[in-house]
Every structure is written in C-alpha cells, then in structure tokens.
Structure 1
Amino acid sequence: MAAGGSDSDRRRAKAALFLACCGLVGIAPHWLPPGRSLVPALTLATLLGGYSLRTVLLQAFRRRPSEAPAAAAPAGACPAVDVVVAARDEQAVIARLVERIAALRWPEGQLALWVVDDGSDDRTPELLAELQGRHPFLRVLRRPRDAGGGKSGALNLVLQQLGGRWMLVLDADADLQPDVLERLVPWAEAGGWAAVQLRKAVVNAQTNLLTAAQAMEMAFDAMIQEGRLANGGVAELRGNGQLLSREALLKVGGFNEDTVTDDLDLSFRLLLEGLPIGVLWDPPVQEEAVLTLPALWRQRQRWAEGGLQRFFDYGSGLVSDRLGFSQKLDLTCFFLLQYVLPVVASADLIGTLLTRTAPTMWPFSIVALALSGMAIATGCRRPSEGPPLPEMNPFSAGLGIVYLVHWFLVIPWVTLKMALLPKKLVWVKTLHLGQDHGDPLLAADPGEGPMESDPELASEASHV
C-alpha cells in the first residue's frame, strides 16, 4: 500500500531536521579557532573508534559461537519449515531455486516451498506450473501486479496460510547447502532466537572488482553484526536468508507494507518487542552481487532510505526504557557511523569551500574507514563455508576501503531526497541473471530471461 500522506510528511520533516542538524555539525567547526576546529572530530574518532575497535577485535579473537554444528538434527526434532519467496519476473532463476529447495535435507511433509508470483509478465507462471507437477512441496500463490505493498505485501499474503513453526525467507537467486536446515533450525531453537540471519555470501565474486568488493562487504557486515551482539548490542535482518519464528512475526503484526526495506523495519519491531535476532556465519546463503555501478547505486539508495526511515519511524521507542543501555549505546554508535558521519562529512566539505578553511572532520572519517578496512581483512581471513572469500592483500584491502566510500555519496544524497521530495511506493526488483557459478544442480537456460529483464528494477519495495 502507498504511504499515507501524514506518515510521508512526518518522515519528510524528520529527514529535513536530520539534514539540518548534520549540516550544522559539519559546518560549525569552521567557525572555531584553528587550534580547536579538529576537537569535535577527534573526540568522535576516539569515542566511536574505541567502540568499533572493540567490536572488531572481539570478533577477531573470541571463540566462534555463530557457526552451527555439522551434525544433523534428530528426525523427531524437526519442526515444520515454510520456505517463502516473493517472485516477479524470475524466469531465469526460479526453476533452479525449486531444485535447490528439493535438495535440502529435511523430513518429508515438514518442508513446504511457497512462491508468491507477484504479477510476473515473463514465463515465471508457466515454469512454476510445470514445477508443481514434479514437486508436491511447491505451492504457488498469485496476486495482481498492482496489488500494492511490494515484497511486504506478497509476504503478508502467504503468511496468512502458513502453519509451520519457522519461515525461511529467500530471494529467487538464493542458494543453500543441503544441510542448512539441519544446522540452522536446531541452532535457532537452542539459542532462543526469534529470528536468525544467515551470512550472505556472494556467488559471483570473481566476476569483476565490484562483485569482489561486495563479497568483502558481506563478510564485513556479518562479522560486525556478531561483534555488536557480543557487546550487548543488536543484530539486523538482511532479507535473503532470514529465518523467522512465525509466532514472533505474528506478534509484531507481520511485514510492514509502508516501508522501503521490510527486513530492516522488521528488525526494529522485533527489537522493541524484546524478540532477539541472531546471526549465523556458517552455513551461509549464497546470492548474486550486482554487476554494474548504476545497479549498485539504485540498490544502495533503497538500503540507505530504508535504514534511515526506520530510525525516523521508531525513534521514540529506541530511546525508551524498552531497550537496555548496551542496546541504546550500540544503536547510537551505529547510527553515528552509518548515517551521521557521511552527511556531516559532506557538510564539512561544503564548509571548506565556503570558508576557504581546512577540512575539520577528516580524523573521524579516516578512523572509521581504517577500522572498516581492518574488519574487512579480519572477516575475509576467517574460515568460511560457501564461495571462497576474496584473498586479502594490500590491493584487495585497499579496494574494500575505497569501495566503502560510496556510502559517503549515497547517504547524503538519499537524505537530501527524503527531505525534499514526496514519496511513492512502487515494486522493484534486482536483476537476477541466473548465471551458472558451478552449481551442480541446475544451470540457467541461456535462452531464457536475463536479456529480457528490466535492468532498471531492483529487488524489493522502493521509493521513486
């Protein structure tokens, strides 16, 4: 459903206030005497750098609790699991996905695959009909292309019909190891998690430098999330490869159809209800990285907008007594590093040009990027299942750091758009090429789909 006018106006006002405050923080030090202009940046670099360093080092040297054991779950302890995929125009990958789910080791009758065909215009409906004849566990729901609510609307449609204890949400290009459920579900239940996010592993990291950088970023993200949890902080869902307790999901009201990123929004609603989210390093969920800078730019704009929007929507709850001190501290540090720093750095650059003085925020930026590089190197050197992570050397570490600078462009641009432009929710999807990356199950049919797909689309609900 489209965002209500009042909600959209409130978000727009909050974005404008956020932009103004960050702009003032970035420009104000230029009015200070030269000896004091670096004090704000040095203070932030020390405080936030110390917290981030602790998070990185804690994960580098602690025992690994987030790797599920390879032993299979006892047959009598296997609850019903519903695998759910929202699909639109996925003819290049949908058959391969069904075969991958068929290969999962889980008792017959305890596993169902639900595919919501969300108004596909390609051969996805015909392929699903053929696959249903071969796979009794496959169930297909269809809804009109203009049904509204984006991916969240599709997931809510199927949520009403599920009966399993667990719901595993996947993208259409996802790949899983056959033993993933045998390891994931017992680990989730033993840990008392309401949701678990699998580490996202890039299957096409060898394609070009951009996909290699995204593979590094996914390892960096999973390791930082583990460190945040270990410090008493919080973890977040990432959409593809998220295992959700159906009971917990119903308790928070299902998926929010008035959001850009359903996974990030759900993370905060679970947090505010005291329902914990875990992160599992191994086994991972494999997915395709985007291949071009324009595709990356579109995808990251959506991620940035969804990330900021949830802070605007749930800010009052995040500062209430519903969260503990460690959780508030973690969220504050994350918010400052991920969202405030890029906007403040942009304002600092503007202040430099206007006042013709030296930049003042560079110590903060350098410390943040240096620690990110350390986290990338640590994560990529960690033993892992799935596709091999990029080998660490000075060039690859430098590539990872340079790659992360794109957030210094994306965040300010998205913040400016959120503050100035009205929003309209539409459904968009990431282009899944279905290329064969050594998959022994099923390679994509080169005569189907990829060249007919719309490269302007990106994977979930977005704003334009």
Structure 2
Amino acid sequence: MAAAFARIGDNRQVKTALFLIACGWAGAAPHFLLTQATKLVPAIALAILLGGYGLQKVLVDRRKTFLNTLEVPIDLADAGDWPSVDVLVAARDEEAVITRLVERLSALRYPEGKLSIWIIDDGSQDRTPILLKNLREQFPILHVICRDKDAGGGKSGALNAALTSVNGDWLLILDADAQFQPELLLRVVPYAEKAGWSAVQLRKAVVNAQQNLLTRVQAMEMAMDALIQKGRLAGGGVAELRGNGQLLQRETLQRCGGFNEETVTDDLDLSFRFLTLRAKIGILWNPPIQEEAVETFYALWRQRQRWAEGGLQRFFDYWPVLTSKQLSISQRFDLSCFFLLQYALPVVSISDLITTIFVRTTPSYWPLSIVAFLVSGLAYWRGCRTKSEGPTLPAPTFGSLLIAIIYLVHWFVVIPWVTIKMAIFPKRLVWVKTTHAGRQS
C-alpha cells in the first residue's frame, strides 16, 4: 500500500503546466470567442453553480450531523475501557514554546498508563535539545527522538520516525505552539470512538488575534474555514485535516503508508489518503486547538505559498482516484467545486485581468469573483457568531467583515504565483516551518 501511494506523486510539473494552460485559456477565451453581450455567460453560469454550492455549505444545518462532546460522560474509574493515545510533535528550533508545550501535555487528563508523549527533535540548532533533555528528566511520560537536520522528509519524515516506536490506538498530532484544555482527550477520544471516525480535526483558534490587524483577520479566517469544513461534511462532501490538532487512528494511518515525505503539506495529503481508503474524517468545533497566527506579511507570504503548493499537489497526485466511482457522487461534486473555487478561480481571474489590459476590454469573470467574496463574507459572519470555546473570536462588524474580505485577495496573488513556479521549476522539498513567538492564550 505504501509503495502504491509513493508512486502517486509523479509528473507534478507537467500536470501543473497543463492546469496553468487550461486556466489561462479559460480566462482569455471569452474576450476572443464570445460577443460583448455573451462573454459574461460562463462567469454567470459558474457563479450560480459555485455560489449555490458555497451557500449550501455555509447555511446547511449541522446540528444533526455532529455529536456534542459535552454530553459524553467522563469516567476514569476503569482505565481498561479507554483506548491508548500517543501524542506526537515534530519540533525544530522551538525553544520559545517547547517547555510550555511539554508542561501542558503532562497536565492532560487521561487514564493512567494510557497516554504517552513523543517529541521528535528534527535537527534543532537552538536550545531545544537541551530543554528537551531537562524536560525528559522531569516528566517520565515524555519520550524524545532526535533526528539529524538533513535527515530528509520534512515534517512528514519527522513524524514517520516515531511511527515505529508508538503503539497507541490513537495518535494526536500537534504543532509545538499548540495550546489546549486539560480535558481535551477526555472529550475528543470518546467522540471519535462513538462516531466511528478514523480521524478528527479540531477547530483551530488563534491565540494572538489581538496582536495586530493581520492576526485578527487570520482568526476570522480560521473560523470561516472550520465552518465551511463542517458544512462540506454535513452536506455529504469531504472534510480535511489541518495539521495541528488532528487525532488519527493509528491502524488507518499505517494502512495508508504513514505520512507522505514527498509533499510540503502532510495534513492535506493525508486527508486524501484517508479518503481513498474510505476512512471517515470528523470535524469538531469545540474544544478547539489554539495556535499562533503569523504576525508579519512576509511570514504570511511564506506560509501561504506552502499551503497553496501542498493543496495543488494533492489534487494533482490523487485526481484519478478523486474522480473515480470509488468516491460518492456528492464527494466528487464537493471536491470539484472546492477545487474550482480555491485553485482555478484565482488563476483564471489573473488571466482574465491580463487579457483585459492587453485587449482593452472589460473583465469577464467579475460576477463569479463577487459571488465568491460575498459567500466568504457570509461564512466569516456565521463562523464568528458561532458559540466557541477558547479565545474570543473577533466581532463580525461591517468594517471587520469588509477588511477580512479584502484580505482574501492575497490568495488571488499567491495561488497564480505558486502555480507558475510549480510549472517551471522542479520542486526541492524543504521543511519551511512557521516561527513561534510563544504567545499565550
């Protein structure tokens, strides 16, 4: 099974070039092939189709689909009834947060003997190894695995290094800046077991939303993303993992060959690996996993380039399976619409804009772009108004919603730029990690 998955990432550069050509043609064609009166027809048709899809995901009733973890009784009397859990954290140069993380992990409430903590030090060059050595002496539950900086495989390689040592029924994957409630596992594990999920992704909440305007809109973006994720799943579509705060069934992870070391986003890739095995992924709004948002535009640019590249990679790698009858019709429709909105629309829009400038005509795809932004604004509003644990979400005022919508324009720059780079330059896999400052919730 692992070998089959390993071959799935071939010819990414060619696939990206074909995608770029197709989107370029789609953006330019209406200017040349259609009359002035009819050139908006493709955009209007797509706006109706994709706008309807987006509205359904934002407005769908999710109450009957998701269990309420607060209703799950917490009983630690009989530890034998609880599945074992291993917490895995891949860490590189995390001296600002590693001590706090281990202290919080050691405070997790769970039946004695059923929980282990694994930190993979992936060639840190700062004080992380020294801190981990001292923490290991202080907390017997902590296990530390050390890798060379050039061991390869990025974050996926670091996590795979621990898979040969762990034997828990469930694996909780966290980033080094993760913050969480002591009762996290007591609430999430019973939910996963009762619902029959193979994985559960927790809503990501931003702890430093009040730091500046950029972190505030990222907090709103995370709420919007979680809302749409739940809507996609409730509507018969596909839910995705988000890296930090993902609970994985170890047996299913082993069936799909572990983490893919040939991708820059292990979580997005793993989402599709689970999907090809028909393994269910659940989404939980509460309790959240708390993390830091990046605080500068340069850090955002680097992070979003990685996210965009990994997102495109997974579609190109797994598209034959994603479009096959192995998936349900609703899942295939969901993936197609999501791909068009998230990845094709930005590239088509840039092609439309460039053609408009050179041919000196009016843009063709503005109806679709307007509908996409309006649906995003509605998702912002609903997400920020949802009852939430953890850090307080920004109030969805008219001004904040307008700024958050404008903020989304960065994807119309990032995705075309990354697509061009992927089509021209062969990929050199490097773990470009996000720097953590140690902000508290």
Residue equivalent to 2:44: 42
Q: Taking structure 1 as reference, are residues 305 and 293 closer, same or farther at Cα in structure 2, changes over 3 Å only?
A: same
| Letter aligned with residue 184 of structure 1 | V
Residue equivalent to 2:317: 313
Taking the aligned partners of 2:116 and 2:436, their CA distance within structure 1 comes to 23
> How many Å apart are 1:72 and its aligned residue?
4.4
**CA displacement, residues 274-310 of structure 1 (integer Å, 9 cap, x when unaligned):** 0010100000000000000010000000000000001
State TM-score, norm by structure 2. Answer: 0.96
| Letter aligned with residue 23 of structure 2 | C
Q: Does the 8 Å contact 1:66/1:279 carry over to 2?
A: no
Taking the aligned partners of 1:231 and 1:256, their CA distance within structure 2 comes to 28
Residue equivalent to 1:186: 190
Gaps of 5+ in 1: 1-5, 438-464
Taking the aligned partners of 1:173 and 1:384, their CA distance within structure 2 comes to 20
Taking the aligned partners of 2:239 and 2:74, their CA distance within structure 1 comes to 25
Q: Does the 8 Å contact 1:167/1:243 carry over to 2?
A: yes
Taking the aligned partners of 2:414 and 2:10, their CA distance within structure 1 comes to 22
1:142 aligns with 2:117: no
> How many Å apart are 1:427 and its aligned residue?
2.1
Partner-residue secondary structure (3-state), 2:371: helix
Q: Does the 8 Å contact 1:67/1:281 carry over to 2?
A: no
Q: Taking structure 1 as reference, are residues 198 and 125 closer, same or farther at Cα in structure 2, changes over 3 Å only?
A: same
Q: Taking structure 1 as reference, are residues 228 and 147 closer, same or farther at Cα in structure 2, changes over 3 Å only?
A: same
Q: 2:369 aligns with which of 353, 358, 365?
A: 365
Q: Taking structure 1 as reference, are residues 150 and 41 closer, same or farther at Cα in structure 2, changes over 3 Å only?
A: same
1:69 aligns with 2:67: no
| Letter aligned with residue 280 of structure 1 | L
Partner-residue secondary structure (3-state), 2:60: helix
Taking the aligned partners of 1:193 and 1:436, their CA distance within structure 2 comes to 31
1:172 aligns with 2:173: no
Partner-residue secondary structure (3-state), 1:425: coil
Residue equivalent to 2:29: 28
Q: Does the 8 Å contact 1:84/1:169 carry over to 2?
A: yes
1:299 aligns with 2:300: no
Q: Does the 8 Å contact 1:176/1:284 carry over to 2?
A: yes
Taking the aligned partners of 1:9 and 1:135, their CA distance within structure 2 comes to 44
| Letter aligned with residue 127 of structure 2 | R
> How many Å apart are 1:73 and its aligned residue?
2.9
Residue equivalent to 1:17: 18
Taking the aligned partners of 1:390 and 1:356, their CA distance within structure 2 comes to 41
> How many Å apart are 1:230 and its aligned residue?
0.8
| Letter aligned with residue 291 of structure 1 | E
Higher mean Cα deviation, 73-82 or 342-351?
73-82
Taking the aligned partners of 1:261 and 1:92, their CA distance within structure 2 comes to 23
Higher mean Cα deviation, 391-400 or 235-244?
391-400
Q: Does the 8 Å contact 2:8/2:318 carry over to 1?
A: no
Residue equivalent to 1:287: 291
Partner-residue secondary structure (3-state), 1:385: coil
**CA displacement, residues 360-412 of structure 1 (integer Å, 9 cap, x when unaligned):** 10000000000000000000001000000001111111111011111111110
| Letter aligned with residue 176 of structure 2 | A
| Letter aligned with residue 19 of structure 2 | F
Residue equivalent to 1:387: 391
Residue equivalent to 2:93: 89
Q: Does the 8 Å contact 1:197/1:237 carry over to 2?
A: yes
Taking the aligned partners of 1:386 and 1:63, their CA distance within structure 2 comes to 23
Q: 1:263 aligns with which of 260, 263, 267?
A: 267
Alignment of 1:221-300 (within 5 A): 221-300=225-304
Partner-residue secondary structure (3-state), 1:405: helix
> How many Å apart are 1:426 and its aligned residue?
1.5
Identity of aligned residues (%): 61
Partner-residue secondary structure (3-state), 2:272: helix
Taking the aligned partners of 2:106 and 2:8, their CA distance within structure 1 comes to 42
Residue equivalent to 2:3: none
Q: Does the 8 Å contact 2:207/2:439 carry over to 1?
A: no
> How many Å apart are 1:353 and its aligned residue?
0.9
Residue equivalent to 2:132: 128
Higher mean Cα deviation, 99-108 or 242-251?
99-108
Q: 1:333 aligns with which of 332, 337, 352?
A: 337
Partner-residue secondary structure (3-state), 1:85: strand
Partner-residue secondary structure (3-state), 2:285: strand
Taking the aligned partners of 2:67 and 2:393, their CA distance within structure 1 comes to 18
Q: Taking structure 1 as reference, are residues 402 and 137 closer, same or farther at Cα in structure 2, changes over 3 Å only?
A: same
Q: Does the 8 Å contact 1:70/1:183 carry over to 2?
A: no
Taking the aligned partners of 2:439 and 2:142, their CA distance within structure 1 comes to 23
Partner-residue secondary structure (3-state), 2:69: coil
1:79 aligns with 2:83: yes
Q: 2:58 aligns with which of 56, 59, 65?
A: 56
Taking the aligned partners of 1:324 and 1:64, their CA distance within structure 2 comes to 18
> How many Å apart are 1:158 and its aligned residue?
0.2
> How many Å apart are 1:126 and its aligned residue?
0.9
**CA displacement, residues 85-136 of structure 1 (integer Å, 9 cap, x when unaligned):** 0001111100000111111111121111100011111111111111111111
- In the alignment of these two chains, the number of paired residues is 431
Partner-residue secondary structure (3-state), 1:101: helix
Q: Taking structure 1 as reference, are residues 70 and 96 closer, same or farther at Cα in structure 2, changes over 3 Å only?
A: farther
Q: Does the 8 Å contact 1:67/1:283 carry over to 2?
A: no
**CA displacement, residues 163-201 of structure 1 (integer Å, 9 cap, x when unaligned):** 110000000000011111111000001111000000000
